[in-house]
């Protein structure tokens, strides 16, 4: 009897919709947010604890870009697998303690594929062991053999069921094999397609499932090519397109022009020009809208459709019910059967959500042309999730003084610095410092902390052993 009771309690705990650690982390995030971002559309602190990234684990890159967010010493640090694994493990442990048992985290630094495949795999496994869903950030100039060695390992057995990669492609990059100095975004389309095809081949060969994001820095030099790039990339097989308007941060030697004229509005206008329709982003906010702009939706037969129309009260009601009742449920990374039980446990207390969900689904299906059209697209493999994002970094000249004031508990009087402080307080992208127990915004990491950190790493991991 005691054994049955223990097993029943274990089952109840495993199927609990929201882990207590997640509930705590979400509540802390929401309480710490500035008042201006605590809106009905806000998901930070209600559904997500925020994104996470590594730092100081492999700062070196084998491409040169203008601009580059890494400090001048980054390429003078040796890539060392042991160092990477130790730092990743320590950083993820702190993130788990502070942010709960589940979150999305980026394995990021310089170029991730400079790690040996086994070291890369070990870092991903360490992130997963800490409850993180990792995404490897690469410039995409990688060989199929490297990816195969990452996936299968020395014994030939597949060590991952699923991988997430973000490939960064834009004409501001220098040194890519076959496109050392691209003159246009169009020159890079074959390399974008090749990147996706490598994962398709891996899936055919090993059964690997994957999620691919396309990231792109946007500056005055390539802003007018964004629309054509979006139209070219959509059919390739990526599930996300993320754009980063250039900022004056990192290695100042690589600032070739002023970046102030390129902002989220300018990039979003190009996105809408590419799709030939308005791309609504007001229904879902992730942190401060001056930093992040998101549109969640799907592609059906090449046409993009949003999941939530901010002009439709019924769809906004569905959003509100989801955040209120399902906000802390981990939908990605949870086995389907376990997730179904968790959802049923929520619905037991909120049965009215079924009708809300059906009304939402009916509207989305009608907007996309009806269920028959979607089924036809699905059978032809022309149905795919597609998220659009603009993530705006801030200039180091603003971040450094704003952060210094925040550390002293002071609110800036100058409007620009006060706006910077507001954005830092609502930052969705954090990096962990186990030596101090702090989580810092990514803009602070790149603008304030990276130069000193990379100078120390240059002595610890010199390119030429001393």
pLDDT tens column, 186-238 = 999 999 999 999 999 999 999 999 999 999 999 999 999 999 999 999 999 99
pLDDT band at 4, cuts 50/70/90?
confident
Q: Which residues pair with 462 in a beta bridge?
A: 77
Q: What is the mean pLDDT of the chain?
A: 95
Give backbone dihedrals phi and psi of 192, rounded to 5 degrees, phi first. -65, -45
pLDDT at 466: 54
| Cα gap 91→102, rounded to integer Å | 14
- The candidate with the shortest Cα–Cα distance to 426, out of 334, 305, 292, is 292
pLDDT at 465: 65
Q: Which residues pair with 271 in a beta bridge?
A: none
pLDDT tens-place string over residues 224-247:
999 999 999 999 999 999 999 999
pLDDT at 440: 98
Average pLDDT (354-372) is 95
Q: Dig out the tokens for 255 from the structure.
A: 């600032």
Average pLDDT (159-173) is 97
| Cα gap 199→167, rounded to integer Å | 12
| Cα gap 456→435, rounded to integer Å | 14
Cis peptide before 62 (omega within 30 of 0): no
Does residue 3 register a pLDDT over 80? no
CB 209 within 8 A of CB 203: yes
H or E, element range at 292: strand 292-300
Q: Phi-psi category of 412—alpha, beta or left, where left has phi over 0 and alpha has psi -120 to 50? A: beta
Q: Dig out the tokens for 78 from the structure.
A: 């040796």
Average pLDDT (352-367) is 96
Average pLDDT (290-305) is 96
Query: What domains are defined for the chain?
Result: 2-314+378-460 (3.20.20)
The residue count for the chain: 466
Give backbone dihedrals phi and psi of 61, rounded to 5 degrees, phi first. -135, 150
Does residue 333 register a pLDDT over 90? no
Does residue 85 register a pLDDT over 70? yes
| Cα gap 238→140, rounded to integer Å | 13
């Amino acid at each position: 009897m005691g054994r049955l009771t223990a097993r029943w309690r274990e089952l109840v705990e495993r199927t609990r919709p929201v882990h207590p650690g997640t509930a705590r982390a979400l509540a802390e995030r929401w309480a710490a947010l500035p008042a201006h971002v605590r809106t009905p559309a806000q998901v930070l602190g209600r559904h997500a604890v925020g994104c996470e990234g590594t730092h100081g684990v492999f700062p070196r890159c084998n491409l040169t870009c203008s601009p580059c967010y890494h400090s001048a010493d980054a390429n003078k640090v040796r890539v060392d697998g042991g160092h990477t694994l130790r730092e990743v493990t320590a950083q993820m442990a702190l993130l788990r303690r502070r942010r709960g048992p589940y979150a999305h985290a980026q394995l990021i630094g310089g170029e991730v594929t400079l790690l040996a495949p086994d070291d890369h795999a070990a870092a991903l496994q360490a992130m997963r062991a800490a409850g993180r869903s990792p995404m490897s950030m690469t410039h995409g100039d990688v060989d199929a053999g490297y990816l195969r060695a990452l996936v299968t390992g020395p014994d030939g057995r597949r060590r991952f069921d699923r991988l997430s990669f973000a490939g960064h492609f834009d004409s501001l990059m220098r040194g890519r094999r076959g496109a050392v100095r691209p003159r246009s975004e169009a020159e890079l389309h074959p390399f974008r397609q090749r990147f996706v095809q490598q994962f398709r081949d891996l899936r055919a060969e090993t059964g690997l499932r994957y999620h691919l994001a396309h990231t792109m820095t946007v500056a005055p030099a390539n802003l007018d090519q964004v629309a054509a790039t979006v139209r070219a990339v959509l059919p390739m097989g990526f599930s996300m397109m993320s754009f980063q308007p250039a900022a004056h941060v990192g290695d100042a030697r690589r600032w070739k022009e002023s970046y102030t004229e390129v902002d989220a509005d300018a990039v979003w206008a190009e996105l809408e020009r590419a799709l030939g329709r308005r791309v609504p982003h007001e229904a879902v906010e992730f942190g401060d809208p001056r930093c992040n702009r998101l549109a969640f939706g799907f592609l059906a037969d090449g046409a993009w459709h949003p999941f939530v129309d901010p002009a439709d009260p019924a769809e906004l009601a569905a959003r509100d019910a989801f955040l209120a009742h399902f906000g802390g449920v981990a939908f990605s990374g949870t086995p389907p059967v376990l997730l179904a039980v968790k959802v049923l446990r929520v619905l037991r207390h909120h049965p009215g959500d079924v009708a809300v969900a059906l009304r939402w689904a009916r509207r989305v299906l009608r907007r996309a042309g009806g269920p028959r059209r979607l089924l036809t697209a699905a059978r032809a493999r022309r149905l795919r999730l597609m998220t659009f994002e603009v993530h705006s970094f801030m200039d180091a000249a603003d971040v450094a003084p704003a952060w210094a004031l925040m550390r002293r508990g002071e609110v800036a009087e100058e409007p620009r610095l006060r706006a910077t402080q507001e954005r830092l307080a609502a930052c969705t992208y954090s990096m962990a410092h186990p030596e101090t127990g702090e989580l810092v915004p990514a803009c602070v990491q790149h603008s304030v902390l990276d130069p000193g950190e990379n100078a120390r790493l240059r002595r610890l991991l010199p390119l030429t052993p001393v």
